[in-house]
Amino acid sequence: MPEPQTPEEALDPTALAEVPVSEATPEQRSAEEAQARRLADRYRLQFLDMNHFRIDQELFRSIPADLMLRYGFV
């Protein structure tokens, strides 16, 4: 999988996608997580495993639906 060249590309989940997540093998998912961890380190960001991350429901409800749709929250 190629390295993203810009922060925007790093944050765009479709920019470098080769296989849909639903079709990825465990090895591909592991490689993707390793790359995500490297990117987090590179940009000095905290890595969050979204399988274990819980969204603050109050904060989520405070975001207008049109913004969620416009920016791909959902």
How does 56-72 read in b/e, with b if 16+ C-beta sit within 10 Å?
Answer: eeeeeeeeeeeeeeeee
- Following DSSP, what letter does each residue of 33-50 receive, concatenated? HHHHHHHHHHTT-----T
Model pLDDT, residue 7? 72
How far is it, in rounded angstroms, from Cα 50 to Cα 33? 10
Model pLDDT, residue 74? 66
pLDDT (tens, 9 = 90+) of the chain, 74 residues, equals 566 677 777 666 555 556 777 788 888 888 889 999 999 999 999 999 888 888 899 998 999 999 999 998 86
